[in-house]
Amino acid sequence: MHFLVTGGAGFIGSHLCERLLRDGHNVTVLDDLSTGAYANVGHLEGNPSFRMVIDTVLNRERVEELVKPADAVFHLASAVGVKLVIEQPVKAIKTIMGGTEIVLDAAARFRKRFLVTSTSEVYGKGSKVPFSENDDTVQGATAIRRWAYAGAKAMDEFLALAHWHETRLPVICPRLFNTVGPRQTGRYGMVIPRFVNQALSGEPITVYGDGTQSRCFCHVHDVVDALVKLTECRDAFGRVVNIGNPEEITINALAERIKSLTGSASPIRHIPYDVAYEEGFEDMVRRVPDLTLAAKLIGFAPRLRLDDILNDVVGDRRNARTFNA
């Protein structure tokens, strides 16, 4: 098969491309390298089954030209990370909603299978544990920029599902819960690469808020496996599906674990949310996925545990530091 992967030079996208090529498919990447990096896919460029196009998903003509010959589209291009959405909200909202509209229009026009990666942010301020797909999303105030990410991604889901309802376009909307692994950069706020970088360089490990908030982290290899299987599962068409790992850890415990794993002398420093993000910032206290639907549809169960994730990220960051030195 021939897949178009938008955002294929990003952290998750590049792992997806490697997997699809390993499975014997042809892959075209469309990426503007805004948050992705050529280094993530440079090693694939000699492969005759791989093609890279550097352009934005907001370029409608380019998107149509690339969607037409593909059998299916993985739409991963998006603004990433809470930090980026707060710092560049206009660009973030336009990229998320405008990009999805354009790529979906093309998928609808040429009748292509379409997967868009959504996010557990969509659950917003909900406090249910665990979150399942049909739970209410609890919207935060529009004055708080963080919630723009949830709102824009929710609109992506609405639009994709609308295409399924109106014309049975085969769409799938996996909601990813904190995906982590090699190549993820801490530049856009992601906590694990940030803590690992801080620990390795001996800088303070910056825990935002009181650190009692928790997250569930899923290895990118488990996520990619789920994305591939979802596009092959007819019962997943027209559905939102949680993908993540139920193993939960507080951010305080995460900081301690990374400090001890790296043998770091870094102090752990608590920073108020207002200073770390913006005035009035609201965090999600817990975010645990209910994986019943993913298990039923594709037999999904994450194989890698938090220790595997941390070992991989520490190895990756150590390599990057040696390489950059």
Interaction between residue 85 and ligand UDP (CB under 6 A): no
Size of the site for ligand UDP (CB under 6 A): 14
Stretch that binds ligand UDP, among 183-191, 241-249, 298-306, 310-318 (CB under 6 A): 183-191
Return d(Cα 212, Cα 201) in angstroms, integer: 25
Residues 243-282 that bind ligand UDP (CB under 6 A): 251
Interaction between residue 283 and ligand UDP (CB under 6 A): yes
Options 72, 82, 115, 148; binder of ligand UDP; rule CB under 6 A: 82
Options 37, 213, 233, 253; binder of ligand UDP; rule CB under 6 A: 213
Site string for ligand UDP, 91-130 (x = CB under 6 A): ----------------------------------------
Return d(Cα 49, Cα 315) in angstroms, integer: 29
Return d(Cα 306, Cα 302) in angstroms, integer: 10
Residue 149 appears among annotated catalytic residues: yes
Interaction between residue 178 and ligand UDP (CB under 6 A): yes
Interaction between residue 191 and ligand UDP (CB under 6 A): yes
- At 121, give phi and psi (nearest 5°): -55, -30
Options 30, 96, 190, 224; binder of ligand UDP; rule CB under 6 A: 190
Q: Which is nearer to ligand UDP, 81 or 99 (CB)?
A: 81
Interaction between residue 194 and ligand UDP (CB under 6 A): yes
**Structural contact between residues 255 and 204, judged by C-beta atoms closer than 8 angstroms:** no
Token couple for 146: 């963080």
Return d(Cα 14, Cα 183) in angstroms, integer: 9
Interaction between residue 208 and ligand UDP (CB under 6 A): yes
Locus of tokens 């935060």: 140
- At 264, give phi and psi (nearest 5°): -85, 150
Token couple for 229: 């299987």
Stretch that binds ligand UDP, among 39-47, 133-141, 203-211, 238-246 (CB under 6 A): 203-211
Q: Which is nearer to ligand UDP, 52 or 191 (CB)?
A: 191
Return d(Cα 92, Cα 148) in angstroms, integer: 9
Return d(Cα 189, Cα 269) in angstroms, integer: 16
Token couple for 194: 């940030």
Q: Please identify which of the residues 123, 149, 188, 277 carries the catalytic annotation.
A: 149
Stretch that binds ligand UDP, among 91-99, 160-168, 202-210, 257-265 (CB under 6 A): 202-210
CB of 237 to ligand UDP, least distance (A): 27
DSSP, res 116? E
Stretch that binds ligand UDP, among 17-25, 40-48, 127-135, 186-194 (CB under 6 A): 186-194
Q: Which residues are CB-neighbours of 235 under 8 A, at least 6 positions away?
A: 297
Return d(Cα 151, Cα 136) in angstroms, integer: 13
CB of 120 to ligand UDP, least distance (A): 8
Interaction between residue 189 and ligand UDP (CB under 6 A): yes
Locus of tokens 């488990």: 222
Token couple for 314: 């520490």
Return d(Cα 34, Cα 38) in angstroms, integer: 10
Residues lying near ligand UDP in the complex (CB under 6 A) are found at: 81-82, 178, 189-191, 194, 206-208, 213, 215, 251, 283
**Catalytic site residues?**
149
